[in-house]
Amino acid sequence: MREFFYPKSVAVVGVSEKPTNLGRNIVGNLIEYGYQGIVYAVGPNGGVIETRRIYKSVLDIPDPVDLALALTPAPTVPAVLEDCGRKGIRWVIIETAGFREYNDGGRKLEEEIDRVAEKYGIRFVGPNCIGAINMENGLCLPFPRLHRFIKQGEVSMISQSGGVGMSVLNLMANEGLGLDKFVSMGNMQNVDAEDMLEYFIQDEGTGMVFLYLESIRDGRRLMEIARRSPKPILAFKSNIGRLGQKIAMSHTASLTSDDKVVDAAFHQAGILRVRDATTLGNSLKVLEMPPMKGGNLAVISRSGGHAVIAADACELSGFNLAHFPETFLREIEKHFRASVIRLTNPLDLGDLFDLDVYAQIVEKTLKLDGVDGVVFLHTSLSTAENQKSRQLLERLMALVEKYRKPVAYYISAAAQEIADLKQTYPFPIFTQVVETVRALEMSRYYDRQSALARLDEEIPAFEVDREPVRRLIDSARGEGRDLLLSEALEALERYGIPTVRSVSAGTVEEACQAADEIGYPVAVKIIAGQVSHKSDVGGVQLNLRNRPAVAAACEDMLARIHKAYPEARIDGVLVQPMITGGREMILGGRQDPQFGPVVVAGLGGIFVEIFDEAVVRVAPISRRVALEMVESLRGAQILKGARGHKPADIDALVDALLRLSQLMVDFPEIKELDLNPLRLFHEKDGCAALDARMILK
């Protein structure tokens, strides 16, 4: 990938003498940005541009060429690539559009390009992109004519969309953020985002990486690369609709929509996800500072009102307002003109007008062991204060470096002054109080989550009875059906996931005998592979207290199913004891097209039906991640025994999640799996799956 950014020579194919030609814009950009290599202009009509000869083909160039850029009509691109191959050019950027994103004819052109690239061993970016930028050597290949609107810095960007990429560059320029490298990926036909990310985390000039993605090709590879990264990775993932628009076949499918899986994957890999331009800008700014290592924050403000707003934001962001020792407060009070403000955290400096003292107070605050970071809220009262405010900012920058703690700097001033500050100083400048606090929240989250992502955690490997499960799945697939209820429960048992005792019955009489044996009350459930949601059509009868009730329930159930599914094959019923007590949970799993097996855990009943309350993670999972899933549920306090209730057996739930994870990894043929409900009993009493649905590919 390095060759796309450090070529010694570039051939721009698609240049003409016409003033509106986009290829000549690229040549102009290379000159504007001070590209240090040799530039060759290529176009079928020849001519001269920018005092350069336009060669009619790359084959006419007398010297070797490292990188070619193609911006010619789509039907001509295969021939251009063929010429590049014959010339010995092994790295190409195809900016031309009109391929698979356009029509079937474009898809065929892509197949032709693939054939030529494979023939010559060419790696190419695109098609349908706007190229690459390297601020280190002046390589600037987008086809819009650009001035040097952004300074050099440490942020490198991978964008699937050229337009979005350019808008983010404008955002960075406005915020005073510097760029190292940029690449627009387009259709990602040959080189994909994962390839570029792997390069950027090793690239010396890159300090952090931003990804804009509309699709993910290889989610597991993306996670593996991100976990290895010593540099912050931020991502904006668009195109977040659910997987398919039809009604989901199982709860798991609806609870693990594409975007929830992306959220989980980014969380597990230590990728900071952003969803809007403001959050992106703030995150890029705050990650340039030392990380927020803990949750104790000090707020120092020139305005009492701003201090109150910041205190509210701290509470919403989960920060504690650090305790200030009495000796510390008394020392600060000596600088005040009058004792009219009660000193606490937030620290209101409204009675102070000496900006040099502000810096002294910030330094004393950073020295406190109980302070992990500072929010400094400043108001420049007049243009006369601007120079002193700048000197204060310079002092704060030095203090951040000295104490390696973040100081999030908010300023209220004239728009031009703020713009000048952002362009002048390599330090984050914030202009909204709440966003200032949230930026430190993101810093804390990233520092904590990226460290967890890099942990080399053991994935439990339980001793399980795998072969009988293999036979069950192979048999069902051979018959073109999903696992029956009884088979799904057996598969869970083989993997050590507790299930309620179940007896299959082929007739009403057998069901009555099973109920007599089990003991009343009982539940009776239909066994029919073609019936998706049994309870919706009367396929589940509960709390049956005697033999006549069982017989009547079975006959009614069979009649209902025959009416609703006249073609369905009914394999009998399952008789189970009624289980009471404990909490209803739902566990599940499915195969995600980008990330592979995922698992889900949620509170059952109305929590999952109405509140969509569930947590998703990409499998396999460690014991820490399984426990994190349980503790992330909004109802976790209920399971822990809040308000005098007995705590639930969380250890048993974690164990079931880990075994379910292993089952989903071992058998990718399982498309979806529901354990709904799984009854979780009191501490030390375990859990039991009462129902299961296993859908096969």
Please report the pLDDT score of residue 337 as a whole number.
63
Q: 351 near 338, Cβ under 8 Å?
A: yes
Task: Name 589's bridge partners.
Answer: 599, 673
Return the pLDDT at 572.
Answer: 87
Two tokens, residue 428: 């984050």
Domain spanning 291-452: CATH 3.40.50.261: yes
Predicted structure pTM score: 0.89
Tell me the average pLDDT across 644-661.
93
The two tokens of residue 547 are: 């033999």
Distance of CA 696 to the CA centre of its chain: 27
Name the average pLDDT for the chain: 90
**Structure token pair of residue 229:** 């990264």
Angle (CA) 155-159-165 rounded to 5° is 75
- Ramachandran region, residue 641 (left: φ > 0; alpha: ψ -120 to 50; beta: rest): left
3-state secondary structure 43-97: CCCCCEECCEEEECCHHHCCCCCCEEEECCCHHHHHHHHHHHHHHCCCEEEECCC
Residue-wise pLDDT tens digits, 663-697: 999 999 999 999 988 999 999 999 999 989 999 98
249 pLDDT exceeds 60?
Answer: no
| Whole-number Å distance between alpha carbons of 310 and 346 | 8
The CATH number of 466-577, from 3.10.310.10, 3.30.1490.20, 3.30.365.10, 3.40.630.10, is 3.30.1490.20
pLDDT in tens, 197-236: 999 999 999 999 999 998 888 999 999 999 999 999 999 9
* Sequence letter at residue 367: K
Angle of helix 258-269 versus helix 433-453 axis, rounded to 10: 70
pLDDT: which is higher, 539 or 630? 630
Cα angle 534, 538, 544 (rounded to 5 degrees) comes to 105
Q: Please determine, for residue 625, whether its predicted confidence score (pLDDT) is greater than 80.
A: yes
What pLDDT score does 227 carry? Answer: 95
| Complete edge-to-edge strand list for the sheet that includes strand 179-184 | 139-140, 132-134, 179-184, 152-159, 208-213, 233-237, 272-273
d(CA 88, CA 473): 52
Contacts of 576 (CB under 8 A, 6+ apart): 500, 501, 502, 503, 518, 522, 523, 524, 525, 690
CA separation, residue 534 to residues 112, 326, 503, 530, 531 (Å): 51, 66, 17, 10, 6
pLDDT in tens, 384-441: 788 999 999 999 999 999 999 999 999 999 999 999 999 999 899 999 999 999 999 9
Amino acid letter, residue 127 = P
**580 against 670, higher pLDDT:** 670
SS (H, E, C) 189-230: CCCCHHHHHHHHCCCCCCCEEEEEECCCCCHHHHHHHHHHCC
Tokens for 40, please give them: 């060759």
**C-beta separation of 678 from 605 below 8 A:** no
DSSP alpha helices (H): ranges in 534-670? 547-564, 606-609, 623-632, 636-640, 650-666
- Nearest residue to 662 (alpha-carbon basis) of 484, 495, 449, 545: 495
Cβ-Cβ contacts under 8 Å for 153 (sequence gap 6 or more): 135, 172, 177, 178, 179, 180, 207, 426
What would the pLDDT profile of 338-367 be if each residue is shown by its tens digit? 554 567 889 888 777 788 889 999 999 999
Q: Which CATH superfamily is domain 2-239 in?
A: NAD(P)-binding Rossmann-like Domain (3.40.50.720)
Same-fold call for 291-452 versus 583-696: no
Counting residues of the chain whose pLDDT is more than 70, the rounded percentage is 94
Rounded to an integer, the average pLDDT of 491-512 is 93
For the cut 90, the answer to whether the pLDDT of residue 102 exceeds it is no
Identify the pLDDT of residue 530. Answer: 67
Q: How many CB atoms lie within 10 A of CB 313?
A: 22
For residue 124, name the pLDDT band (cuts at 50, 70, 90): very high
Q: How confident is the model at residue 336 (pLDDT cuts 50, 70, 90)?
A: confident
C-alpha R_g of the chain: 32
- Give the phi and the psi of residue 179 in degrees, each rounded to 5: -105, 140
Burial degree of 548 (CB within 10 A; 0-12, 13-18, 19+): exposed
CA–CA dist 584, 23 (Å, integer): 64
pLDDT digits (tens, 9 = 90+) for 34-72: 999 999 999 999 999 878 899 999 999 999 999 999 999
Least Cα distance to 430 among 443, 446, 449 occurs for 443
Distance between CA atoms of residues 445 and 170, nearest Å: 26
Give the length of the chain: 697
> pLDDT for 263-314, tens place per residue?
999 999 999 999 999 899 999 999 989 999 999 999 999 888 999 999 999 9
583-696 CATH, one of 3.30.9.10, 3.40.50.720, 3.30.420.40, 3.30.470.20: 3.30.470.20
689, 660 Cβ separation under 8 angstroms: no
Where in the chain are the domains?
A: 2-239, 291-452, 466-577, 583-696
Can you tell me which residue has the tokens 């898809």? 107
pLDDT of res. 98: 86
pLDDT at 253 over 60: no
Main-chain dihedrals φ then ψ at residue 258, nearest 5 degrees: -50, -45
| DSSP per-residue codes, 11-39 | EEES--S-TT-HHHHHHHHHHHTT--SEE
Q: Is the pLDDT of residue 244 over 60?
A: no
Percent of the chain with pLDDT over 90: 72
Token pair of 79, please? Answer: 């021939």
Q: What is the dihedral of CA 370, 450, 235, 654, to 10 degrees?
A: -110
